[in-house]
Amino acid sequence: MPRQRLVSLVVVAAVAVATGFLVAGQVKAQLLTPSNQVARYQALVRSVQDLEKTNEDLRARIASLRTDINSLEAQAAQQSETTHTLQDQVAALRARAGLTALHGPGVKVDLGNGIPGPDQGSPAGYLINYQDVQDVANLLFASGAEAIAVSGRRITPLSAFSGSAGAVLIDQGPPLTAPITVLAIGDRNRMMEALADPSTLPDIRARQVRFSLSVKFDGSPDVQLPAYDASLQIPHLTAASPEPTP
């Protein structure tokens, strides 16, 4: 066989072998690609499923937390409302006890001494006394007054009036003398009607005619009352010890 033909056969064989490798590699690549895509798709599906499961768990947790928050807010609102109600009750009790300063619509009553009369049978009849002040305060309370002060002295449910002649004692405070001013906060119209009613305060009205006592009253849109002076303590009463039986 000629040398040139032998070389040609070798070259053709080498090309055939190379072509075979190339074809086999291409076929292998074509066979592997779909399997890789399927694997990647399955991995993505699993990831999506895991994310959906995680999101579902988180949504359930969020719903539970919202329920807890709503419950806590409701409890806080109820406690706040209860606290607010208790605070209002305490404030009302303090105001009723005279422990806080107040202002609001009310009336002002000025009481002044009169002129001594020729009748010496009742020489102090022309003087404003503690009973006069007490009668005015009782009338105002009965006519819608919520709080009263007498010449800057706040009246409380435990206040006591006493005195002699023209001196007026309230609780343990210093004596007051006319002119005396009574301020009251409350139903202004009712209090004004009561003060103007000729059937009320009969003793004061009789002495007003007889001794010219000065009794003036007027309504006001804003009456200022001080708080009770805590230094004026009402003395405590103690029971007396029983005497020994002989």
Note whether 159 and 200 are same-domain residues.
Answer: yes
Q: What pLDDT was estimated at residue 238?
A: 43
Q: What pLDDT was estimated at residue 236?
A: 43
Q: Which of 31-35, 115-119, 134-138 has the least mean pLDDT?
A: 31-35
Q: What pLDDT was estimated at residue 242?
A: 45
Q: Does some domain include residue 242? A: no
Note whether 122 and 199 are same-domain residues.
Answer: yes
Note whether 61 and 111 are same-domain residues.
Answer: no
Question: What pTM was computed for the model?
Answer: 0.60
Note whether 214 and 190 are same-domain residues.
Answer: yes
> In terms of residue numbers, what domain contains 92?
1-96
Number of structural domains found in the chain: 2
Query: Which residue has better confidence, 119 or 160?
Result: 160
3-state secondary structure of 137: helix
Pull the structure tokens for residue 30.
Answer: 């074509």
Q: Which of 20-24, 46-50, 100-104 has the least mean pLDDT?
A: 20-24
Q: Does some domain include residue 207? A: yes
Q: Which of 44, 69, 96 is the last residue of a domain?
A: 96
Residue in the structure block whose two tokens are 């890789």: 36
| pLDDT mean over 20-37 | 54
Note whether 210 and 107 are same-domain residues.
Answer: yes
Q: Does some domain include residue 244? A: no
Residue 142's pLDDT band (boundaries 50, 70, 90)? very high
Note whether 27 and 141 are same-domain residues.
Answer: no
Q: Which of 96, 129, 151 is the last residue of a domain?
A: 96
Q: Which of 64, 96, 128 is the last residue of a domain?
A: 96
Q: What is the pLDDT of residues 193-245, one digit of tens each?
A: 999 999 999 999 999 999 999 999 999 999 999 998 755 454 444 444 444 44
Instruction: List Cα–Cα distances, 226 to 35, 149, 201, 214, in angstroms.
Output: 94, 7, 26, 25
Query: Which residue has better confidence, 24 or 169?
Result: 169
Q: Does some domain include residue 80? A: yes
Note whether 91 and 138 are same-domain residues.
Answer: no
Note whether 105 and 188 are same-domain residues.
Answer: yes
Separation of alpha carbons 32 and 42, rounded Å: 16
Q: Does some domain include residue 233? A: no
Residue in the structure block whose two tokens are 């039986």: 245
Q: Does some domain include residue 47? A: yes
Q: What pLDDT was estimated at residue 27?
A: 47
Q: What is the pLDDT of residues 150-161, one digit of tens each?
A: 999 999 888 899
Is residue 107 within 8 A of residue 219, CB to CB? The reply is yes
**Domain containing residue 167: CATH number:** 3.30.70.1880
Residue 96's pLDDT band (boundaries 50, 70, 90)? low
Give the whole-number percent of the chain exceeding pLDDT 90.
42
Note whether 65 and 176 are same-domain residues.
Answer: no
Note whether 107 and 221 are same-domain residues.
Answer: yes
Note whether 92 and 105 are same-domain residues.
Answer: no
Q: Does some domain include residue 241? A: no
Note whether 25 and 123 are same-domain residues.
Answer: no
Query: Which residue has better confidence, 233 or 93?
Result: 93
Q: Does some domain include residue 84? A: yes
Report the chain's mean pLDDT, rounded to a whole number: 78
3-state secondary structure of 74: helix
Helix and strand totals (H; E) in the chain: 4, 7
